[in-house]
Structure 1
Amino acid sequence: MHNKIVILTDGYSTPFLAKTAISLLRYRTDDIAAVIDGAAAGSTAQQVLSAGGDVPVVASLADVADADALYVGIAPPGGKLPDEWRPMILEALQRKLDVVSGLHDFLTDDEEYRSAAEQSGAKLVDVRRNKHKSTATGHRFRKGCIRIHPVGHDCSIGKMVTSLEVQRGLSAAGHDAKFLATGQTGIMISGEGVPIDCVVADFVNGAAEQLLIQNEQHDFLLIEGQGSISHPAFSAVTAGLLHGCAPDGLIFCYEAGRTQVKGLDDFDIPSMKDQMAACHAMANLRHPCRFIGIAINTRNLTAEEADAELARAEAEFGLPACDVYRTGADKLVEACVALRKELGQ
């Protein structure tokens, strides 16, 4: 993995567009040398993106003394690479920096980028490009390998963050736990995983299953969730992951106050109880499974409102609830350990 990373967000440094950069700044802070955004040069990453502390925001690669890679830090709708970034990407390649992107617009499909990389010896890394072509086998996972999988009421609500924070909490408590990435940002954070939304439909279950088989020596696997079982566009990856990773425990994630599907105007999100019932039924078709907790994104609530929402959710669902940023992940960590004991493992 690279440890002198420059993140490119130039002109796109908003919470909605730069979520990849924000997650990298949160979870790989020590590996980030700088963020490039000309309009905010002279600021810190914390000031611009609310993450990353004193990581500097600079105007160009010339302002970075030492780097080994340029990471594309945005995830815009449609996954297109901004045309205006071409000179900066070519400059990075000429400076022998690897260029890493998680977008659907592949760097390696661009002849000019390929030529520049070949000349300098730098690498082009398209995180979403994959060769998964195996169907699932219904593998019986090792007894003692507890698989925890967050699902949610919509996209972009914190399923990856929930997985990462619970894994961190389990590891801090002395347990053998690993986070398994299934999306581009998670892969860029952990250095491995499966870009599940770019796997051919028939192979989604198999790709997830293989990822877990490669890691079933661990006692806890926290498998990043994708999409939503009720999302009109992205339900397929949700179903594929539920069967591919055959979870023992599910964590339901939602953003407080969100009532409409992201990206689809006037499309209401179905009730959480209905979605939970659907996820539970889908998972149990493959392997015995139950919900062990609730993770709530309370970013749009005051502290008092957040406390009230957590209490309301616990009362409604009869499960421990937390906001992994605001209140920590301890309740979910404890629920994972309790599930392991319940299963006699």
Structure 2
Amino acid sequence: MDFADASQVDFDPESVRPLKLSVITVRGEPVIDADIVVLGGPGDFSAGKALRLEGSDIDGLGKRWIAFLERLGQKTDRPALARFAAGTSTDEQRTLSLAFPGDPLSKDFAPNHSPDVLMEKAASALDRAEAAERAIATAQLNEANAVRERKAAEALVAIERRRVAELEREVDRLSALSESTAYALGSVPADTRAIVSEARAWAWQARLAAARAAELAAIHPEALIWKNGASFSGETMNRQPHGHGVMVFHAGGREVARYAGAFDQGRRIGLGIATSDDGLVWTGQWTNDEACGLGLLETPEGRRFEGEVAPDESGAPKRIRGWEWNPDPARSQKTYSVATPALPAPQAAG
């Protein structure tokens, strides 16, 4: 048997003490101070403290080879050595590597759990975390910029809306001035001035309601559409006009009636302006889809009624009290009686 004597080799005093292994034949004498004595060749399993070991034991992972590894593991402080060499499955070896991470074989059987690999994984995870943090910071910055841009746009819109509102008020002021000049309240009989003045105030409020309706119609265009050609743009509730909006009726491809103002559960209730097919315009109060209350009625011929109306049996507004103007009688020789704008009820539009 070939052998080598390593007793004269210097070793690192700070390392683990070297293990002495003596391999002898049946007739040989073991080294007295050897840590493990192995008897080579056939014979009993053991002889005293010596372990008998043959080549077939190693090749077949026999009991003698496992016993040798167990004793070697005890001497080298590697309790899992024999279990690693026992031909266990890959999953079992990985379990051993987790239970005995200090054993050198753990790196072979479970490289993913080795300190070097784990350090690499930790470094990679740290890189990904830092990249995610940078992405979050970038997203937060973009979000902050978007919020600032949105606020700036909203401020600009608010400024433009204020300008539009100022222009509308100026137009209304000039219109009111024109009315006060062309239709001077002093020209109205004294006992009728109070009701005319009140009707003008409600007509002014109706114009404001119509302006509000136009704004909401732009925000909610064609919120409702009916098969008969009617459409509604503005606020809704339960698929009915509710709030403020504009309802338009079409027939034969052209607009025949329009109402801009307040709605309540599909009905014209409150204040608004209606225009009929023949050019009549009612600006004032509405109740249950009818022109009812105080307001202003204008005709294409220039006639103008300011005062209070109520619907008669046919639904047309009947003058209760007020004043009718006819500044230019030459424009029309026909006798005109106040009639309601021909605007069907919203709930009948479907």
- TM-score, scaled to structure 2: 0.21
Q: Indicate the structure (1 or 2) with the bigger Cα radius of gyration.
A: 2
- Greater percentage in strand: 2
- TM-score, scaled to structure 1: 0.21
The structure whose RCO (Cα within 8 Å, separation 6+) is larger is 1
